Structure 1
Amino acid sequence: MNLTKYILYIGISFMILSCEIKQEVLIVDVYETSASGNNLKKLTDFSIEENKDSLLNITLFPQKKRQKITGFGGSFTEASAYLLNNISKKNRDSIIEAYFGETGAKYSLTRTHMNSCDFSLGQYSYAPIAGDKELVNFTIDEDKSDIIPMIKDAMKVSKDGFKILASPWTASPWMKDNNAWVGGKLLQEYYDTWALFFSKYVTAYNKEGIDIWGFTVENEPLGNGNNWESMHFTPDEMTNFVQHHLGPKLRNDYPEIKILGYDQNREHLKEWIDSQFKNEETSKYFDGTAIHWYASTFHYFSDELQYAHQKAPNKYLIQSEACVDAEVPKWKDDAWYWKKEATDWGWDWAPEKDKHMHPKYAPVHRYARDIIGCLNNWVDGWIDWNMVLDTQGGPNWFKNWCVAPIIVDPAKDEVYFTPLYYTLSHFSKFIRPEATIFEVENSDKDIMVTAAENPDGTIAVVVFNETNQSKNIQLLLDNQKVNIKMNGQSIQTIVIPNNEN
């Protein structure tokens, strides 16, 4: 080989080697929330020393696609809207921006209640006149001073917009067999009236400039212990109502509106799925299923979620409500949200056989565990309950206190962003609607991981480290890798840019 060829050979080899080295380095941004004090902080130094013995491997397989994401968010309740009306405009605007703005959580999927619920100031119906079968007197005036202005403010700051899922807690008492707000069933003679109610609600909100994306048929159709607004359905009763009344009515008036069945705890999901999707006739008006998490403080019921997906793989499966319930929130005490001191309704009231499902838990852990567990088991949307509550955990006419990600003290005009707000933001801000969840291999059973590829080609990997020990992660994508140090008791979102942009 002459000298010229040798130099050319060395040059080409060096170029190839340089390209290979560049390909091995995975460029990422890392955001962390931790018990040590980080709140969705972008880390500038997350490097670790190369020590293969201490590395845990997270391997990404974006080509192994799973479900598409509908969205993440919280709920517009009368309680939250009332509180926003009673703080300064500056603080109100900061909360709306924090949830819906580009600098905030960028919520994309929300929920609200039709008629009153426990997180209302009192009990009311949009159809108050008994015997008004044609709903001539239907009105949403109750919402015009609080919920509707809150939604409109959110619409103003949301760049990409958001979907609204509406849920009734009960029909008007006069439509029910017990003529009461709590419990009872919808009378057969009012099935068509109640279906008309949904359509009129869409029309009324449209006149306010607000689009409704979908409905759940009934919040908690199994009941809530006869405590606050409720109305009972069996699985087959709900399927019958949707198949012969609500479905045809909405298909005729608003064919794009989605209908989600069930809307309660996952432990009973299979029997509702079997009824809704029994055959083509029963399933044709159901666009999917809604679920809650209150059956357990730590178990996300993967078998039930897998069953629901397998039975109806092309239907929505949306977590429509979750909160730290039966608790008064801790004010400006971040540490409490990372400690196993919180309880839920089951801590005191669950039957003995179910006590193990309701241990004490750390609120941040419960949110992170459940969202990742859901996403890894085909759930495509996740909605928190109240966006804002006061220092008591209300207002709530039944005094059913709960925790919200943002707590306010109207008397002092103060706002507290709890660690739950940042926990939710790790998902809602970085995993966008129409993102695709894909398969991940994780070598450490002590951490949880989920990952999604967004429509713009960016990849978001969310990692939750529940242990007190820091972890050294080696993230692998194709022939690229990056090593990342992760604090104990922390959540990280690792964002991989689209190199083709």
Structure 2
Amino acid sequence: MERSMRFIQTAKDDQEKWKDKGSLSFKKGTTSDSNVIRINPEIEYQEWIGFGGAFTEAATYTMSKVSETHRSNILRAYYNKEEGLGYTLGRTHINSCDFSLENYTYVENEDTKLETFSIQREQKYVIPFIKDAMKEAEQELTILASPWSPPAWMKTNGEMNNGGKLKAEYRDLWATYYVKYIEAMEKEGIPIWGVSIQNEPEATQTWDSCRYTAEEERDFIKNHLGPIFEANGLHDKKIVIWDHNRDIIVERATTILSDPEAAKYVWGTGNHWYVSEDFENLSMVHEAFPDKHLLFTEGCIEGGVQLGAWHTGERYARNIIGDMNNWLEGFIDWNIVLDENGGPNHVGNYCDAPIIADTKTDEIHYNSSYYYIGHFSKFIKPGAKRIGLTLNNENIAATAFKNNNGEIVLVVLNETELGQSFTVQVEGEYVEVEVERRSIATFII
């Protein structure tokens, strides 16, 4: 059967997104073009878990402020497998985060027995939206839960914000807090796939934050969280370390994963995109610890809403491709939706999101980042394997995956001001392609 390649493109100069540009037919033989993307389906790398976004209180509160029609459309836009992005992953926060309406915890006062533990607050906005997302996705979601801060009384600085550390005497109690959260969410019908130890443990933020050195994170897993999960029958829950930027991911992972007593509890390492685009650091972690996994746990455009900006989508694609080509297995965006200010956020740390809901005018804006993510998530399915690809054109970036049904998905990013021509070579066949300036293209072979 003659091989063909479907061509879907989103370009800055074209109003139509995910534009189907038809199919291209391959020619037999080997190209003489020096500008070539060579795909080798026989070489396989990591298996892909999926894409998703964070169910913050801010995002789900914003969703409660729009009309029911818009709410349904946004759910479809993210979670529908046919029309939307096909999201299957998610992230929640244990206690409040910066994208909460205020600081809050799940216990009253200094409850050292956790007798008052309740996730009732999440039942107002977060839990109903997750349930609706699962209904739209027609499946359970793979959800990572991350804490930003323990209750203030458990910390050395006596507050949830501005860093501080977990007091030594509360390490077991804090580990038990994770157990209570998982059990409470699952009682609500929301399975928790895993937890990270701490969101951004190297950062003292003006919002909910808590610091751990690499050694403290290692010892918390080894001596507290791991054994307490085991004792409570949660040995199947995944534990993700780091959950912070790529810049020092190698040092953090090495300290923790080199200790077999800690490493036995750890599924893998989470990374964020702030500060660094040193994608090869992920490969360094993979090569040192090939039995562990790599997950992108947060990234967003900082500094508030940027409606209509094109570079924001390009940043998403550049980071997704860079991480994918260095052994990443899944991608979780930050807030799925924010309001017209890029919030709400209880410390004014406003950001952008792929979908912005103007709660004053009840208008919904789809940013370039939404469409750029879709060039990956709509076509690279959970269970796909990354395959061999070589590229000798520094003007474009690319990655290739093979879905379980055998189709090959090639994604090509062109951030330059010029259109780019190249040849795609697959085994003994090739096809010539041209993509527009400032564009992203997905090719299905």
Following TM superposition, the consecutive aligned residue runs of length 4 or more in structure 1 with deviations greater than 4 angstroms are 45-49, 52-55
Contact 1:473-1:484 at 8 Å conserved across structures: yes
Superposed, which structure 2 residues align to 1:147-162 within 5 Å?
A: 147-162=126-141
Shift of 1:160: 4.6
Q: Is the alpha carbon distance of 1:48 and 1:282 closer, same or farther for their aligned partners in structure 2, counting shifts above 3 Å?
A: closer
Superposed, which structure 2 residues align to 1:364-403 within 5 Å?
A: 364-403=313-352
- Deviation per CA, 1:362-395, whole angstroms, max 9, x where unpaired? 2122111111000011111111101101121111
Contact 2:26-2:429 at 8 Å conserved across structures: no
Partner of 1:256: 236
- Deviation per CA, 1:23-48, whole angstroms, max 9, x where unpaired? 4xx21222111111231122237689
The answer to whether structure 1 residue 461 and structure 2 residue 438 are counterparts is no
Which stretch shifts more, 469-478 or 307-316? 469-478
Q: Is the alpha carbon distance of 1:172 and 1:190 closer, same or farther for their aligned partners in structure 2, counting shifts above 3 Å?
A: same
The answer to whether structure 1 residue 421 and structure 2 residue 398 are counterparts is no
Contact 1:275-1:282 at 8 Å conserved across structures: no
TM-score w.r.t. length of structure 2: 0.95
SS at 2:248's partner residue?
Answer: helix
Superposed, which structure 2 residues align to 1:188-267 within 5 Å?
A: 188-224=168-204, 226-252=205-231, 253-267=233-247
Shift of 1:330: 2.9
Larger Rg: 1
Shift of 1:199: 0.6
Contact 1:129-1:137 at 8 Å conserved across structures: no
SS at 2:386's partner residue?
Answer: strand
Contact 1:388-1:406 at 8 Å conserved across structures: yes
Task: For 2:427 and 2:119, locate their aligned partners in 1 and report how far apart those are by CA, in whole Å.
Answer: 54
Task: For 1:62 and 1:249, locate their aligned partners in 2 and report how far apart those are by CA, in whole Å.
Answer: 43
SS at 2:42's partner residue?
Answer: strand
SS at 2:247's partner residue?
Answer: helix
TM-score w.r.t. length of structure 1: 0.84
SS at 1:43's partner residue?
Answer: strand
Matching residue within 72, 79, 93 for 2:51: 72
Task: For 1:463 and 1:208, locate their aligned partners in 2 and report how far apart those are by CA, in whole Å.
Answer: 41
Shift of 1:321: 0.4
Q: Is the alpha carbon distance of 1:414 and 1:47 closer, same or farther for their aligned partners in structure 2, counting shifts above 3 Å?
A: farther
The answer to whether structure 1 residue 44 and structure 2 residue 17 are counterparts is no
Task: Please identify which structure carries the higher helix content.
Answer: 1
Shift of 1:53: 8.1
Q: Is the alpha carbon distance of 1:190 and 1:383 closer, same or farther for their aligned partners in structure 2, counting shifts above 3 Å?
A: same
CA RMSD between the two structures: 1.9
Task: For 1:438 and 1:383, locate their aligned partners in 2 and report how far apart those are by CA, in whole Å.
Answer: 22
Partner of 1:280: 260
Counterpart of 2:60, as a letter, is: A
- Deviation per CA, 1:281-334, whole angstroms, max 9, x where unpaired? 1211111011111113xxx21332121101211211111000011x22133xx3
Matching residue within 256, 272, 275 for 1:292: 272
Contact 1:48-1:484 at 8 Å conserved across structures: no
SS at 1:455's partner residue?
Answer: coil
Task: For 2:374 and 2:140, locate their aligned partners in 1 and report how far apart those are by CA, in whole Å.
Answer: 16
**Structure 1 residues without counterparts, runs of 5 or longer:** 1-21, 339-361, 497-501
The answer to whether structure 1 residue 133 and structure 2 residue 112 are counterparts is yes
Identity level (%): 38
Counterpart of 1:269, as a letter, is: I
**Structure 2 residues without counterparts, runs of 5 or longer:** none
Which stretch shifts more, 34-43 or 255-264? 34-43
Task: For 1:237 and 1:481, locate their aligned partners in 2 and report how far apart those are by CA, in whole Å.
Answer: 53
SS at 1:441's partner residue?
Answer: strand
SS at 2:104's partner residue?
Answer: coil
